[in-house]
Amino acid sequence: MTSNELEAVYAGRKLGDRVARGLASAAVLLALLPLVAVFLWIAGRGVRALSPAFFVEPIGARGAGMANAIAGTVQLVVFASLMAIPLGIAGGLYLAETRAAPLSRAVRFGTDILAGVPSILVGVVVYAVIVVQMKHFSAFAGATALAIVMLPLVMRTTDIVARTVPDSLREAALALGASRWRTAIFVVLRTAAPGIRSGCMLAVARVCGETAPLLFTAYNNRFWSESLLDPTASLQVQIFTYTMTPRDDWHAQAWAAALVLVTFVVVLNVAARRLVRAAEGSASA
């Protein structure tokens, strides 16, 4: 092959590389365009309704606030996390350490199915089991529904991340006399902690946008909730409620609530990805 032919081949490959890079960049931009457009649309409408009263006044008070809805959302997410995260981490660690056992395969299969169940069905089940028995809506029922939605996400994340821990670390701990479950807790879990934390944060971000389960469980409350056994307001349900009305001022409040909720979800996602990058950097170092 002559030098001219080699140059022609090289030029063709370089052109192909540029075309591939251009197509990949265009695909990324097309994927980001809807997300950016939605966020800018929400921000453009929501910023105009944001004010100090929005964060300190309850629903229906003068000044059109959503303080009790914000507090209710935090309450629901916190209690759902307290129920789902410890159980999900423990279950995922069990699946990772007994990956070949028939019970582990069955639990993993059931977890995958639960992760694909529509959240509204979870709300209906919790309504039948808890709300009907208690004869009223409650924050406890809402937190339980969100915990069920979170559980398979946390469990599968823990399972996947824990299985990436090198077996050499397990073998070294066992060789030093540590028991199998002591090794799992103090070696495997500690090594996989950054990935598990990011998975938990993504699970929290997921349930922050769930509305359907709360309509059947926590429902709504125009006043401050005094306990977990009372119905409670939430940003998700309040957005749904306000958008169903003909009032323009309530529509503006719904946009403001949507902006607060989307911002919180974006912050959680960014923090989770930074945790993953930090874990990858420490592992490579």
For residue 199, give both structure tokens: 């998975």
C-alpha closest to that of 123 among 215, 240, 248: 215
| Residue 139 burial by Cβ neighbours in a 10 Å radius (0-12, 13-18, 19+) | buried
- Per-residue pLDDT 10s for the chain (285 aa) are 566 677 777 777 888 888 889 999 999 999 889 988 988 999 988 888 888 888 888 887 665 688 899 999 999 999 999 999 999 999 999 999 888 888 889 999 999 999 989 999 999 999 999 999 999 999 999 999 999 999 999 999 999 999 988 888 888 988 888 888 889 889 999 888 888 988 898 899 889 889 999 999 999 988 888 889 999 999 999 999 988 888 888 888 899 999 999 998 888 888 877 877 776 666 555
pLDDT given for residue 19 in this prediction: 87
How many residues does the structure list for the chain?
A: 285
Distance CA 82, CA 204 (A): 11
pLDDT given for residue 63 in this prediction: 55
Distance CA 135, CA 84 (A): 25
DSSP 58: P
**One-letter identity of residue 49:** A
Distance CA 16, CA 64 (A): 58
76 close to 147: Cβ distance less than 8 angstroms = no
**One-letter identity of residue 82:** L
Residue 62 Rama label (left phi>0; alpha psi -120 to 50; beta): beta
